[in-house]
Structure formats: structure tokens, C-alpha cells
Chain A
Amino acid sequence: MTTNTTASTEVTQVATTRPVQPTLGWAPWRRAFWYHATFWSRTWRGQVISSFLFPVLYLASMGLGVGKLVNHHSGGVSGVTYLEFVAPALLAMTGMQIASNESMWPILASFKWTRSYWTAVSTPITPRDLVIGKLSWVAVHVAMVGVIYTCVLEAFQTLLSPWAVLLPLAGVLTGLAYAAPIAAFTATQENEKSFPVFYRFAIIPMFLFSGSFYPISQLPSWLRVVVQFVPLYHGVAICRTLALGQGSLATTGYHVGVLVALAVLGAYLCDRNFRKRLEA
């Protein structure tokens, strides 16, 4: 008498007068991409200006300050001036920096505070669209900054090889090797506690020990082994090869391979973790 829940069980099949039209459009993920682009575009002027300013300051300090000292004492590094040696590393470092910034707080915010991912999945957008949209946005963001940086490097006459036109792509690859695994991690987090720790004990050491400022041959041998697991090291190596036109195809292939593998593995984990969280 208390329950009477089954309404007209005789009805076997049901539908609507207006059957669902597959009006999903091409590549729905591009709408998740535009979401990020829209927010970026609201402050793009400031971002472009700082994109010029930062490399200029970096090159000035490295070239005029440290570079003078190094060149004076040892006549450059690996046969090039110190400025030529450190300049291309900038692309990889920036790839790492943009990617890690984009993949921690903003992603957690979209899950927890603005809930914009929940908003998106209540529309035809799927968790996978969100992942592709986010990663492609990071790629485009790094590429835009990378193009500006490369122009600045060229203006400082630090690029010795025509392969240097590929520098922005090396930045993008480095960025994705960071963005994808970090985003996959962020998707499992309930709060931001781990982010500052990650910055201090992972990002900053990588920044310092990945051969950006000196060749890793200067490091003790055990650290040279550890560095092989650091994406930034591979990114810096690729950038340097492209900028200076030195290095073998085999080693470059190895560096590219490691970064691609990380990005692909990260993207796979992102896809899984986003879906797990949003479809709970």
C-alpha cells in the first residue's frame, strides 16, 4: 500500500515527437578549446607584452652577466658562446612553465570551484572533449609564446641554424609532456595542497638540473642518470639541437621519443581520470 512506483508497465518502448538529432557538429572538443581561448583573449595584450619582455630580460642577464664571466674564463660552452648555449633552453623552460601553470590550479578550479567542467558535460561535450580541448589549448598557448620567443632569440643573434624555426614546436612538445601527466594527476585531487609541494620539489629542481644553464656532463654520474627521466632535459636538448644545428639524429630521436611517450601516456591517463571523475 505504501509503494506504487511502476507507471504503466505495458509501455515497452518510448520516444519523442522530435527524435534526437545528431546535431553535434564537427569535433566538439574545439568548443572546449575556445573556452580557454576566450578567457586568455580577455587579457591577451598584457600577456603578449610580457612574452616579449621576459626573454629580453633573460637574454640580457644571461648574455651580459653570466655569459661574460663564462666566456672570459673558459671561452664559451661546447664551442659556442654562453648566450648561444643558454638561449634556446628558454623555449623548453617556458613550455614546462606554461604547461604546469595551466594544469594545476585552473583544472582543479574547473572541477571544484567554477565547476565549469560540470557545466560542459551537461551539454553534448564529453570528458574526452574537455581533455583534447585543454591539451590543444596548452599547445597553442605555448606555440604563440614560442613564436615570440624565437623572434627575440633571432633578434639577439643567438640562432645558428635554420632548424631553429622549429623551436616553437619543441616548446609545444615539452609543454605537452608536462601538461598531460600533470592534468591527469590534478584530476584525482580534491584540494590544492600538493601543488606548491610539486612546484618546490619537482618543477624548480628540474628547472635547475636539466642542463639549461650548463651541460649535464658537469653533473655527477648518478644525477646524469636521474636527469634522463626529466622531460625538461629532453626538451632543452632538442631546442639546443635545433638552434645550434649540432647533435645526431639518433639522440634527437631519443629525446623526441621520450617526450612523445610521456605526452601520450599522460593524455591516456587524463582521458581515464577525467571520465572517472565527471561520470562518477
Chain B
Amino acid sequence: MVTDPPCSVAQVLTPDSRVSLVAARGLVKRFGDFTAVDGIDFEIYRGESFGFLGPNGAGKTSTMKMVSCISPPTEGSLTVLGQDPKTKGPQIRARLGLVPQEDSLELELSAMDNLMMYGRYFDLPRAEIKRRATELLEFTQLSERANEKADNFSGGMKRRLTIARSLISDPDLLILDEPTTGLDPQARHLVWERLYRLKSEGVTLVITTHYMDEAEQLCDRLVVMDRGKIVAEGAPQALIQQHSTREVLELRFGMDGHGPRAAAVADLADRVEELPDRLLLYVGDGDEALAAVHARGLAPLSALVRRSTLEDVFLRLTGRTLVD
């Protein structure tokens, strides 16, 4: 138990010397009778990249709005950058960067003017904003289009500009709400690559996503959210180890249903999941299991052996798939 009063730099280290930037206990958000966030606990440390993985409507955005001190929690306690959002909202927000789920750029303004405008909200001197904006446009590979209206930008460029905008205040904590939803694979990889760079520079990232590959790639640690609750917490690989087998064998049969086949292969796997279009066999060794399937005279139309992912963890914990 750390009971010492905060030292001169107002810094309290956790027992393993990590600095906690966000601490939430029993966090609840209700809209009328509807509970969007249902009593969640989490803690985010300096320098890590922390994920909220969950399907549509899980409560990720509602949580991000509370963490970014825009929307007050209905219940529970929340500390951000060591302060209480209820009383220190503007002060905390001065140190946060937010990439909201929905783009909110000024489409009539150029990329550069978008950054200038945003920087002024933080009361930064114009020359300093200009300097940082030039740097950030470089960083997000938008330098050539700096003076072009944001309206002309593709989805991926808008997203990158929004990321550049969120960095203008040199934030202690960068919150990204679904940074790559709606982007094509190439645009996603470009965004991921930039986020990697930030991560390696030591920026603390909070990322929400409903893509398990995004979570696996970017997050050191994550919570899996479903219907307003946290159903699992840990490092991606640890979660996979804990809740799934090493490999998965995916079998597709014809349109005549998997039911009887599921029963026929049940004993070959730790667990069998029946999805509308395929059977998932959770096994240690996929090839071995496939050979056994063939040996039983079952002839799937297609078979695929892959490693377990967070998708499988989610399926295991909730009985549903992440992306529907």
C-alpha cells in the first residue's frame, strides 16, 4: 500500500514503479434508463498502449468520453493525469489529445489551418503552433497537401490529419477512438505505422477498436468490453493463452448445416464453436486435428489451420463474434 503523501513532483509510483495516468473504479455511464458503461475498473500506465476491444455498442466511446473529460461519469471514481475531471476538466484536457470516432475537421479550411485553429484552443503562441503543425504534417505524411482544403482528403488522410491535430498540444495521453474504422487496408497500415512510431517515442496511447488485429498489433495491454462490462483484461498474447488453444482448425462444409458434424468431431478438440458458416475446432495442433477429421471420412469443402486470436477469446467469453 502506497500511503506516502505525493512527493514534490506530485508523482506516486505504483509498487512496480509504473506511473498511473488513468484510474477508474466502478465507472458507470447511463443515458436515461440505459446503462452504456456498467461499472468498469481499469488503470492505464505511462508509456503503455492500452486498448479497449469490443463490438458495436460495447460502451467504448462512452468510456473514452469520460476518460477525455468531456462527459462526466454517472457513478464511480475516475482520475485522469492525477486529477479529478469533475473539477479540473479544462486543466486535464489541456494535456490530452483526442482522436474522436467521427471525423470533425473543418472541411472548409486547409490542413494547416485546421491545426492552427485547434492549436489556438490550447492558447499556444501562433509561431509555436505553426512550428509544430509543420512538423506534424510531415509526420503524418501530409506536407504536400498542407494548404489544400480538408474536404478534398480521402478517409485515410482525414484520419491522419485528425491524429496530427490531436498531437498539436504535445499531449501526455493520446486517446484514439477507432482510429482505423472505415479505412481500406493500405490506409490502415499507414495509420498503424504512425501510431507505432508514437508508441516507440514513449507516447501513452489509449485505443478503442473492434478489430482484433488492430488490438493485437498496437496494444501492450487491453480490456475486452461487451455490453458495458469488462469481460477480460491482460496482454493480447496472455489473453489468448488463457482463454484459447494454440491453434484453431476452421472447417467449412456445404450449406446443409454443421450440427451433425460438430458432434462427430467434438472429441478431437478442446472445444468446438459452431458459427453460421463454419466450425471452429480449438486444438493444440491444427494439422493433426485435420488429419483426424479426414480419417473419419468427413470431407470439408475447405479447411484452414490458424493461430488463435483475440476474436477467439471474445467468442469464448461472450459466445458472439466481434464484427458482425
Residues of B within 8 A of A34 (CB): 120
| Range of interface residues on A (Cβ < 8 Å) | 35 or more
Q: Does B104 contact A (CB under 8 A)?
A: yes
Question: Which of A13, A20, A31, A121 has a CB less than 8 Å from the CB of B81?
Answer: A20
Binds A, one of B14-22, B51-59, B190-198: B14-22
**A contact patch SS:** loop
A16 to B11, CA, bound (A): 6
0/1 interface trace, chain A 34-78, chain B, CB 8 Å (1 if under): 110011000000000000000000000000000000000000000
Residues of B within 8 A of A118 (CB): 70, 100, 104
A24 near B20 (CB under 8 angstroms)?
no
Give the contacts of B150-207 with A (CB-CB under 8 A): 169, 172
Given contacts A10-B2, A24-B91, contact A122 B46 (CB under 8 A): no
Give the contacts of A115-144 with B (CB-CB under 8 A): 115-116, 118-126
A7 near B31 (CB under 8 angstroms)?
no
Residues of B in contact (CB 8 Å), total: 61
Question: Which of B15, B83, B118 has a CB less than 8 Å from the CB of A119?
Answer: B118
Residues of A within 8 A of B169 (CB): 123
A22 to B92, CA, bound (A): 9
Q: Does B231 contact A (CB under 8 A)?
A: yes
Question: Which of A8, A39, A119, A124 has a CB less than 8 Å from the CB of B104?
Answer: A119
A4 to B234, CA, bound (A): 8
A91 to chain B, nearest CB (A): 30
Question: Which of B46, B83, B106, B232 has a CB less than 8 Å from the CB of A3?
Answer: B232
Residues of B within 8 A of A11 (CB): 2, 12, 14-15, 20, 23, 43
A126 to B90, CA, bound (A): 7
Given contacts A5-B42, A28-B90, A119-B118, contact A14 B23 (CB under 8 A): yes
B90 to chain A, nearest CB (A): 4
A12 nearest CB neighbor, chain B only: B2
A18 to B204, CA, bound (A): 13
Q: Does B315 contact A (CB under 8 A)?
A: no
Q: Does A15 contact B (CB under 8 A)?
A: yes
Q: Does A217 contact B (CB under 8 A)?
A: no
Question: Which of B2, B98, B121 has a CB less than 8 Å from the CB of A13?
Answer: B2
A69 to B221, CA, bound (A): 82
B83 near A20 (CB under 8 angstroms)?
yes
> Apart from A11-B23, A16-B21, A124-B122, what are 10 other A-B pairs with CB-CB below 8 Å?
A2-B317, A3-B233, A8-B15, A15-B11, A15-B81, A20-B91, A24-B90, A25-B123, A119-B104, A279-B71
The contact sample of 14 A-B pairs, CB cut-off 8 A, is A3-B230, A5-B233, A11-B43, A13-B6, A13-B12, A14-B79, A15-B12, A17-B11, A20-B91, A21-B91, A24-B91, A115-B100, A125-B121, A278-B70
